Structure 1
Amino acid sequence: MKYNGRIAAIGIVGLFNLLRYFYYHQYLELPFKANFFILTTIFLAIAWWCGKQFDNVKYYSEKDPLTDTYNRRKVEQSFQKIAQMYRRENHKLGVIMMDLNKFKEINDTYGHHKGDELLINLAAILKNYVKKNDIVARWGGDEFLILVPNCKSDFELGYIQGLQQALANEKFDELPSVEASVGFAIFPDDGQDFQELIKIADAAMYRDKE
């Protein structure tokens, strides 16, 4: 969770108190009293609390609380923003769909808490693998979606196979080897609409699973 709200609130209140000091004690030349610091401390504490509430709301509006990846709403907003820019610049955007094979069996055999741990670990692997500007989101259940801006011609052989290899190399305590099915689509080659690209990537993912 970022601290943008708290930093902004503290900055505004700090500036307010600085102006208050110069107005009352420099401009009006009123005698300085110790309660100035008491009031300033109270104002800063309130500002910190309000800023924290803003940060909490922003975090949960964008992130999946279990895996700390982005949620559907945020990834769709990101796609629209990137796609609008790429239509002008003639760049390509990769859309990857991925889900775990036999995830239901893992939940049934080892318990849902182990399933949750697996999803958390998987999200960490994805975030470690992707590049700086890539966007990882939990699409639902055990499905994840990755947006890959400015993907290259070797996208399938390089990026996709590298991702599958990174997952295959990972070892999970108490669990058998974990495999994932992956499918992808490329904007604008495979379509212009986000939902259309999702359907194409999802169909490719299920073909990979079969």
Structure 2
Amino acid sequence: MRAEIQVKLLENLLDEITKRYDSFIKEQNEKIEDTLEKATKDPLTHLYNREFLSEYAEKVLKENRRKGESIALIFLDLDNFKPVNDNYGHEEGDKVLKNVAEMLKNSFRDQDIVVRYGGDEFIVFAQLNRVQVYELNEVLKSLQNRIEDNFQKYGISISYGISIYPLEANNLEVLIYIADKKMYEQKKRKKLDEN
């Protein structure tokens, strides 16, 4: 009888240790996930940040050199965003940025990387086949129209530029430079059309 009690006590003790261990492991995993989230994501929009883009792009570009697939880097910048912060406050500006981030995520595929590059600038890094390169402008025009419709109150639009790997560049810095330059050219054309 005494041995049965000791076995039962040991079983209860083992059960308690297992529960505590499971709880500890769960807590550690949550801390790791939280740390990873903070290291790779923008805290406001929950899009990837530029540090993540640099690391991810380096790996993908290296891989794609072997495969020979195209990658589009899309640089997007909100037009007329500064007056939102100036006239309505930063809280309202933050709401706009969060909504734009959600629209961007919904406009692209799950495997495409959407990044808040800084302020009101965004980058989309998308692996494409030849057909999708041509469809990309349609996706971006549709996104531009939705942003203009949703933020008509503020007069916000979006300008964008696209660079294609390996056609135009073979590293991230040059892809960003080319797409950024094209985006500013689009922004200039839009201002000329307004006048």
Q: TM-score range by the shorter chain?
A: 0.7 to 0.9
Deviations 1:18-42 (A, max 9, x none): xxxxxxxxxxxx7232222222222
3-state SS of the aligned residue for 2:57?
A: helix
- Following TM superposition, where does structure 1 have runs of at least 4 consecutive aligned residues deviating by more than 6 angstroms? none
3-state SS of the aligned residue for 2:138?
A: helix
Corresponding residue to 2:94 among 83, 107, 116: 116
The Cα of 1:102 is off from its aligned counterpart by 1.1
Alpha-carbon distance between aligned partners in 2 of 1:173 and 1:135, rounded to the nearest angstrom:
24
Corresponding residue to 2:63 among 66, 85, 88: 85
The residue that corresponds to 1:64 in the other structure is: 42
Find out whether 1:107 has 2:109 as its counterpart: no
Alpha-carbon distance between aligned partners in 2 of 1:194 and 1:93, rounded to the nearest angstrom:
11
- Structure with the largest fraction of helix: 2
Alpha-carbon distance between aligned partners in 2 of 1:67 and 1:106, rounded to the nearest angstrom:
17
Deviations 1:164-204 (A, max 9, x none): 32232244478334200100111111111210111111011
Equivalent runs, 1:101-180 vs 2, <5 Å: 101-153=79-131, 155=133, 157-170=134-147, 171-172=149-150, 175-180=153-158
Gapped regions of structure 1 (runs ≥ 5): 1-29
The residue that corresponds to 2:191 in the other structure is: none
Corresponding residue to 1:188 among 148, 151, 166: 166
TM-score by length of 2: 0.85
Equivalent runs, 1:15-34 vs 2, <5 Å: 31-33=7-9, 34=12
Preserved contact between residue 125 and residue 167 of structure 1 (Cα < 8 Å): no
Gapped regions of structure 2 (runs ≥ 5): 1-5, 189-195
The residue that corresponds to 1:3 in the other structure is: none
Relative contact order: is structure 1 or structure 2 higher (C-alpha 8 Å, sep ≥ 6)?
A: 2
More deviation, 178-187/40-49: 40-49
The Cα of 1:73 is off from its aligned counterpart by 1.3
TM-score by length of 1: 0.79
Alpha-carbon distance between aligned partners in 2 of 1:105 and 1:111, rounded to the nearest angstrom:
9
